């Protein structure tokens, strides 16, 4: 009696990982609001530079595709929402932004996710699946563009926590002038560094599968007959 044994080739598995999340004492903190001062990210594009001893927390470690992004939002009070909408361009909104950083704090905008209205999700940690996944390369930086405002800023952090924004030299204290990047392929400069504050967002990436060596593929038996 003959029997056939099928030997399946090894799968080139992809990995799912988060960019921007840490564990333990550096886990995602609560953003400001409704407590006072109630501060928000306002009219800029930013990315986290350092969290404690961890640098490059929002740098992509492997080639892959962004499939979703997450933002932890506070719940501002009605008067706080009214103030922000009146002074910062309207309703709360944000979108994920992929950067390629260069010298002297310059960066190119490589891709962006769809803008999302945030107010329905105040007080929650909301995850948004992208309509179209975004390809990223190792070394790309995941940022956040906020054309109006977003209650996703945690304050009173240690001095070892910092983030950068696309505000010009001399304008780091100007939080109302629009500096958010909303166009792909633009080149901008992240001049302003803010310490003791953290942007509460992250991105979900599926890494590209790693193919097996060609030699291994050629010598892998597909079937074997036994009597």
3-class state of residue 1 by DSSP: coil
The residues, any chain, with a CB within 8 Å of residue 41's CB and separated by 6 or more, are: 94, 144, 146, 149, 150, 152, 153, 199
Euclidean distance between CA atoms 67 and 134, whole angstroms: 7
Q: Please name the residue that has the structure tokens 């961890």.
A: 54
Q: Is residue 1 within 8 Å of residue 212, measured between CB atoms?
A: no
Per-residue confidence of the chain (227 residues) as pLDDT tens digits?
555 454 545 555 668 889 998 877 688 999 999 999 999 999 999 999 999 999 999 999 999 999 999 999 999 999 999 999 999 999 999 999 999 999 999 999 999 999 999 999 999 999 999 999 999 999 999 999 999 999 999 999 999 999 999 999 999 999 999 999 998 999 999 999 999 999 999 999 999 988 776 445 554 554 444 44
- Per-domain boundaries in the chain: 15-20+30-208
Euclidean distance between CA atoms 31 and 96, whole angstroms: 18
């Amino acid at each position: 009696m003959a029997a056939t044994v099928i030997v399946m080739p090894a799968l080139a598995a992809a990995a799912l990982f988060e960019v921007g999340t840490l564990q333990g004492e550096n886990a995602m903190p609560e953003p400001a609001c409704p407590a006072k001062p109630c501060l928000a990210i306002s009219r800029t594009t930013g990315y986290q530079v350092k969290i404690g001893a961890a640098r490059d927390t929002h740098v992509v470690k492997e080639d892959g595709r962004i499939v979703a992004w997450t933002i932890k939002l506070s719940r501002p009070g009605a008067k706080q929402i009214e103030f922000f909408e009146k002074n910062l361009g309207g309703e709360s909104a944000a979108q994920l932004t992929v950067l390629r950083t260069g010298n002297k704090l310059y960066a190119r905008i490589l891709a962006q996710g769809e803008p999302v209205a945030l107010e329905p999700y105040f007080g929650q940690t909301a995850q948004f699946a992208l309509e179209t996944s975004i390809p990223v390369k190792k070394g790309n930086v995941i940022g956040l563009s906020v054309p109006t405002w977003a209650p996703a800023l945690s304050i009173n952090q240690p001095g070892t926590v910092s983030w950068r924004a696309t505000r010009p030299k001399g304008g780091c204290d100007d939080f109302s002038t629009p500096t958010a990047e909303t166009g792909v392929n633009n080149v901008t400069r992240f001049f302003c560094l803010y310490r003791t504050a953290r942007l509460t967002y992250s991105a979900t990436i599926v890494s590209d599968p790693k193919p097996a060596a060609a030699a291994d593929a050629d010598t892998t038996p597909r079937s074997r007959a036994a009597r």
